[in-house]
Amino acid sequence: MAELNLGKGLTAGKVASNVQKKLTRAQEKVLQKLGKADETKDVAFEEGVINFNKQYTEGSKLQRDLRAYLEAVKAMHESSKNVQACLADMYEPDWYGKNDVDSIVEDCDVLWTDYHQKLVDHALISMDTYLGQFPDIKARIAKRDRKLVDYDSARHNYATTHKTKKKDGGIKITKAEEELERAQKVFEEINIDLQEELPSLWNSRVGFYVSTFQSLAGFEEKFHKEISRLDQDLYDVLVKLESTDPTRLVSNNPSCKLCQDFLLPAVPPPPKVTPSKEMKAENIINLFDAAATPDISVTSPTEVSEQLPSTHSRRPLTLHSLLLHRSEPLSSFLWPVCPPVYFPYSILFYSTPEPAAPAPEPAPAAAAAAAPEPTEEATATAEMPPGFLFKVQVMHDYAANDTDELEMKAGDVVLVITFDNPDEQDDGWLMGFKQDDWQQNKENAAKGVFPENFTQRL
């Protein structure tokens, strides 16, 4: 009767043989655990297996992390490529360095691609090759364990048969001895090979780690060096583009003295609502009166600054002073010296001329005749609040935004006084009393701070 073929080279006889082996091994392990059978121990080999499992675990983790690193590099490549492509698309053809920008963008893309490919070739493939040998060794270790159980089972069977005293005992002893020799031979072949390979594999990890991380470090260093050079080139191009930008308003030339006169110190922002300021009719002078306008011939910044009237201190340049002292159109006054300078409307302060030279004293008799008697003006001066400095007239309504601020209406006259603590004074803010309130209530009048650019000095 022919044997039943189960496919893939298996027959009923082989299946039965395998099942019998599994049963025998299970029975032997139970006897070993119960202490009724001897178990072969190899401490050195067991330590080698522990090291093998540790090495396999570490290598597998490194492989996963390396794959994640390469995915991150690829994602960074795509992000960098998209950002730089966006820059190249937005960069106008007539801007400075258009060809340089396109070349830098292309070189960056090539550099990222080369970096990723080198990591794959010299790190990932090498890592896969290194870990490829572990599954085979792991399977051989498992086979060695099974053959060891077979060997122990054959030894146990031989010892039991040798003690039996039956007529056919010699035949059983001979058969048991043959099984023992066969099991021992198979076990020792596998065991000897693994005894040599496991220590060698364990020691190879140092060289592999060194090679892998040296490659990573070397490729990364080279990549960042090249990409930083391209980034510097792009930065230089953008700096030159900025220097050629026609919308730049203020000249950075320190030798331009007129520009320095126009540039004002930083002042706090005006209040939330700043009404528009219009020049009053009495502040507009006759621009066509030649006697009131000195001739100014602009040939250089130095000469311009020297020809400005010396009766004015170096204060913020105002519309009033520009109109008062110009002899040519404002554009021709400024443009030959430096590019136009723009500044906020809110900084057009008044410009107070410095006191003129005192008039010659009259003769004693004339002085006595001209000396007026004490008037209301002297009395009013004496009635000013302590620390009085000067008067200002409110040009625009101002609604107080805080309890320490002064509510003002256009046309009010305010008596400006010094701050109790000068450190509390902010730039562009004054303190005082409204004149009507002070005359009525004196020390009980409301005192507060207010923005200077809402007023005009009297």
Instruction: Please provide the DSSP assignment of 34-83 as one string.
Output: HTSS-----HHHHHHHHHHHHHHHHHHHHHHHHHHHHHHHHHHHHHHHHH
Alpha carbon of 26 to those of 23, 176, 204, 253, 366: distances in Å?
5, 19, 36, 95, 141
* Mean residue pLDDT across the chain: 74
Give the separation between CA 95 and CA 202, rounded to whole angstroms: 61
Class of domain 388-457: mainly beta
What is the predicted pLDDT for the residue at 145? Answer: 86
pLDDT at 28: 67
Distance separating alpha carbons of residues 429 and 426, to the nearest angstrom: 6
CA 257 vs CA 239, 260, 306, 330, 352: distances in Å: 26, 5, 10, 17, 21
Digit-coded pLDDT (tens) for 213-245: 999 999 999 999 999 999 999 999 999 998 887
Dist CA 80 CA 104 (whole Å): 12
Task: Grade residue 2 by pLDDT with cuts at 50, 70 and 90.
Answer: very low
Contacts of 338 (CB under 8 A, 6+ apart): 251, 253, 256, 258, 259, 301
> 201: which 2 tokens?
């594999």
Highest mean pLDDT: which range of 163-167, 228-232, 387-391, 419-423: 228-232
| CA atoms of 99 and 93, how far apart (whole Å) | 8
Q: Taking 90 as the threshold, does the pLDDT of residue 56 lie above it?
A: yes
pLDDT higher than 70, residue 363: no
Amino acid (one-letter) located at 60 = S
- Please name the helix (run of DSSP H) or strand (run of DSSP E) that holds residue 441, with its range, or none: helix 435-441
Secondary structure element (H or E) that encloses residue 183, with its range: helix 169-243
pTM: 0.47
For residues 409 and 450, the answer to whether their CB atoms sit within 8 Å is no
Q: What is the mean pLDDT of residues 51-69?
A: 94
Residue 322's pLDDT is 45
Alpha carbon distance 326, 316 (integer Å) = 16
Element spanning 214, H or E: helix 169-243
**What CATH architecture does domain 20-244 belong to?**
Up-down Bundle (1.20)
- Domain boundaries, given as residue ranges, for the chain: 20-244, 388-457
